[in-house]
Structure 1
Amino acid sequence: MRRRDLFRLAALSAVLALGAAPARAQALDVEAILNDPQAPTSGNPKGDVTIVAFLDYNCPYCKKSAPDLARVVKEDGRIRVVYKDWPVITEASVYGAQLALAAGFQGKYLAAHDALMGIPGRRIGEAQMLQAVAAVPGLDMKRLQADIEAHGQEIIALLKRNRAQADQLGLRGTPTYLVGPLLASTLDYASFKRAIAEARRRQAGE
């Protein structure tokens, strides 16, 4: 089977698996949201503020806010980011999430994430996503294929956990950011700065 077809079948299987699992009302598990061991992270692992980002690679507002999030994390130096791939817009969104998460087995999640967020436009197709990820420096595409085969069920399980957490939080779409104790949707640089300052103020008052 050609690599392109293998990736497509993996994406379709994820769609079916995600759609087959009914949402169930459960108590909110804050620890699972903040510290899922399989959820990709960036920034300062010992940061005093954690930003949990629920994102979709076909979401234009996610793409718009991504550079501002990266900028504030770099400048601040005390922020930890947890990425929750939450593909809710198209079938190709699931495919993109799979590619990024599979790249994580090579330590390339963030690079693949940035490449996918950098594709202009909305409703990006699978071919464009694959092309963007293939251009990530140092990413071994043969190994990526092998990791999708070997870890496909782990990736699907993570996406299902992300979806369940979004449901428990009552989220309505992407992007949604949990900035410390705060819940916000689309943010720009100045809004991220204000939310982070407010999160620190509230944490200091606890």
Structure 2
Amino acid sequence: MLQHISRRTLAQMFAVAGIRYMVGPAHADDAPTEADISREAILYDPAAPTAGNPKGDLTIVVFFDYNCPFCKKAEPELERLVKTDGKIRLVYKDWPILTPDSIKGAQWALAAKYQNRYDAAHLAMMGIPGPKIPAERMREAIAKSGVDMDRLDADFQAHGDDITKLLRRNLAQADSLGLMGTPAYIVGQYRVTQALNYEGFKRVAADARARAAQK
């Protein structure tokens, strides 16, 4: 698990990356609200990308960073579970906390969502081995995945404020859950703060379903 950096350092990173997203709100009315960090918001934020079965009986939320090698190692294991299980709804929480280039990657992935290519951009960046991947290499990988880069740039310009607000909500939600690093998962009622293999994800999913059935 890679550790969460301090808020001050994170704010400095955002400034270096040229992003309008800061840890603190740009305006008083931009501060995260109780609604932003509610369980409903964590599970069902309409702006958050999703995969798997939209009507699944179990939701898994993954907080990740494109420069986290442990996230990349666990990614295919989680994807395998979602595919073989067939009843899991997967929610992606872009949480760029490691480097300024992580922020760029998250921005581009979320901009690709407007052309229905978030999955392509996400998998392309997750497929780059190692930590501290430069933004230029991320962008090259996204382009090779078939994403229309001219449209991506136009969508980012048009929807940059919405992307900023989503990243801010993701940060607030991670803080409200006490998450300290990537990867982190919410599996039903369980919080998992380490990378798992397929069998590990399978066991946690089974435990989450069993616990839900007891209520």
Alignment TM-score, normalising by the size of structure 2: 0.86
**Aligned equivalents of 1:21, 1:58: Cα separation in 2:** 25
Runs of 5+ in structure 1 lacking a partner? 1-8
**Aligned equivalents of 1:11, 1:111: Cα separation in 2:** 27
Task: Confirm or deny: 8 A CA contact 1:72 1:189 kept in the other structure.
Answer: yes
Matches within 5 A, 1:24-173: 26=34, 28-137=37-146, 139-173=147-181
| Cross-structure match for 1:203 | 212
- Give the CA RMSD over aligned residues: 2.0
Q: Give the direction of change, closer, same or farther, for the CA distance of 1:24–1:47 in structure 2 (3 Å limit).
A: closer
Runs of 5+ in structure 2 lacking a partner? 1-13
**Aligned equivalents of 2:144, 2:32: Cα separation in 1:** 39
SS at match of 1:18: coil
Q: 1:182 aligns with which of 190, 211, 214?
A: 190
Q: CA deviation at 1:21?
A: 3.1
Instruction: List per-residue Cα deviations over 1:28-53 (Å, max 9, x = no partner).
Output: 50000000010000000000000000
Q: CA deviation at 1:111?
A: 1.2
Instruction: List per-residue Cα deviations over 1:8-67 (Å, max 9, x = no partner).
Output: x998232x5223439879585000000001000000000000000000000010000000
Query: Structure 1 residue runs of 4+, over 6 Å off?
Result: 22-25
Q: CA deviation at 1:188?
A: 1.3
Alignment TM-score, normalising by the size of structure 1: 0.90
| Cross-structure match for 1:18 | 22
**Aligned equivalents of 2:169, 2:99: Cα separation in 1:** 18
SS at match of 2:155: helix
Task: Confirm or deny: 8 A CA contact 1:51 1:178 kept in the other structure.
Answer: yes
Figure out how many residues of one structure are paired with residues of the other and give that number.
196
Instruction: List per-residue Cα deviations over 1:67-102 (Å, max 9, x = no partner).
Output: 001101000000000000000000000000011000
**Aligned equivalents of 2:33, 2:46: Cα separation in 1:** 23
Q: Give the direction of change, closer, same or farther, for the CA distance of 1:148–1:26 in structure 2 (3 Å limit).
A: same
| Cross-structure match for 1:6 | none
**Aligned equivalents of 2:119, 2:42: Cα separation in 1:** 19
Identical columns (%): 54
